[in-house]
Amino acid sequence: MDAAEVSRLLVEWFDVHGRHLPWRPDEDPYRIWLMVVMLQQTRVETVLPYYERFVATFPTLPALACADDEAVLAAWKGLGYYRRARNLLAGAREMAATYDGRVPEDPETLERLPGVGRYTAAAVASIAFDAPAAAVDGNVLRFLSRFFAETGDIGSAKVRARLEALAASLLPASGRGLHNQAAMDFGALVCAPVPRCEACPLAGGCAALALGIQADLPKKTGKAAPVTEHHLVALVRDEAGRTLLHRRPASGLLANFWELPNVPRDGDPAAAFRSAGLDLEILSELGEVRHVFTHRLWVLHVVSARLLREPADFSRHQWCADPAAATLPRAFSKILELE
């Protein structure tokens, strides 16, 4: 089965079974860039309502470039991996300043934007501008490793480079964006973690199927278990029922987000909060919340507390009448559900 036949069969399958995403039919480069970034590490069904809300708030690249950080984070609220939202805003500002408010057509130029790696650049450039770039995500890697019977570890840079070269060899002379979308959806829906070989239009050319090893591929070294961190979190209310929030540091995980006051869980709770500058009376234990990030697990031990006196420097705190409406990371908004 030659490359042209593989591409033709993928696109024919996609025309019938593919997930046609809402940048169509205009194929606005800004909306394509936005959707591709939103789909990083997040399922299509989860993304769609957030995409619609985000586009309604920021319908054009200039509108996003002019937005303030809080408005962008509020529109992103609930989607998780908030660094993506910050990178979108930084990227929009850079495109407004450097590229006349347009999404660059060249994949290498796109890769220089904040939060844009090789896959994102290839997906945006091929779908928006028909650039000759193969978009290789996890679904495509799985399809390629089976179709070509690649038995090496796909976590290896050499193996990945081989598969990316094979992906590039399958690109048609035109319609590369359609081909890339077809390959991604095919990997997600047919050449899935549990392969659906009976529904595969490429079964006749699949080397892994011919060898009977399709269920064993791709090979990938297991991920390291996330590091577990225990935190003590205080749900602090004043007499008016407002909730005390704290702003996280300007760098690091969840930079500059509002959160519920928290400290590492170590020894006496009141003493631990005093060392962080908050003089609290601990009232009761409320329960435990767990939240998984990519490489860490937070175990949040939640207490109800009362603020005995405001700290001398209250600049990184605020009282909030409706914390459920605030842009709290999901790890902390879960806590509000304990009550």
Could you state, in order of their start, the residue ranges of all structural domains in the chain? 3-216, 227-336
Q: Is the pLDDT of residue 224 over 80?
A: no
Q: How far does Cα 189 stand from its chain's mean position?
A: 20
Q: Is the pLDDT of residue 229 over 80?
A: yes
pLDDT in tens, 86-102: 999 999 999 999 999 99
Q: What is the mean pLDDT of residues 206-229?
A: 92
Q: Report the alpha-carbon distance of residue 31 to residue 103 in Å, rounded.
A: 10
Identify the band that residue 324 occupies on the pLDDT scale cut at 50, 70 and 90: confident
Closest by Cα among 229, 281, 236 to 261: 236
Rounded to 5 degrees, what are φ and ψ at 36? -60, -40
| Residue-averaged pLDDT of the chain | 93
Q: What is the pLDDT of residue 225?
A: 81
Neighbours of 211 (CB within 10 A): 13
Q: What is the mean pLDDT of residues 328-337?
A: 90
Residue 270 structure tokens = 């009141």
Q: Which of 61-75, 161-175, 218-232, 265-279 has the lowest mean pLDDT?
A: 218-232
Q: What is the pLDDT of residue 221?
A: 84
Q: What is the mean pLDDT of residues 199-206?
A: 97
Q: Report the alpha-carbon distance of residue 122 to residue 136 in Å, rounded.
A: 8
Q: Report the alpha-carbon distance of residue 109 to residue 107 in Å, rounded.
A: 5
The fold of the 3-216 domain, in CATH, is Endonuclease III; domain 1 (1.10.340)
Identify the band that residue 81 occupies on the pLDDT scale cut at 50, 70 and 90: confident
Q: What is the mean pLDDT of residues 36-54?
A: 91
Rounded to 5 degrees, what are φ and ψ at 278? -120, 125
Q: What is the mean pLDDT of residues 331-338?
A: 89
pLDDT in tens, 247-300: 999 888 888 889 999 999 988 999 999 999 999 999 999 999 999 987 899 999
Q: What is the pLDDT of residue 338?
A: 81
Identify the band that residue 24 occupies on the pLDDT scale cut at 50, 70 and 90: low
Greater confidence, 293 or 183? 183
Rounded to two decimals, what is the model's pTM? 0.81
Tell which phi-psi region holds residue 79, choosing left (phi > 0), alpha (psi between -120 and 50) or beta: alpha
Strand-pairing partners, residue 264, are: 231
Q: What is the pLDDT of residue 300?
A: 97
Q: What is the pLDDT of residue 5?
A: 98
Identify the band that residue 23 occupies on the pLDDT scale cut at 50, 70 and 90: low
What are the distances in angstroms from CA 45 to CA 21, 79, 244, 294?
10, 12, 34, 20
* % the chain with pLDDT above 70: 99
**Which helix (H) or strand (E) covers residue 306, if one does?**
strand 296-309
Q: Are 244 and 238 in contact (CB under 8 A)?
A: yes
Of 3.40.50.300, 3.40.50.10490, 2.40.50.100, 3.90.79.10, the CATH number of 227-336 is 3.90.79.10
Q: Return all residues near 142 (Cβ < 8 A) that are at least 6 apart.
A: 187, 191, 192, 193, 217, 218
Q: Is the pLDDT of residue 222 over 80?
A: no
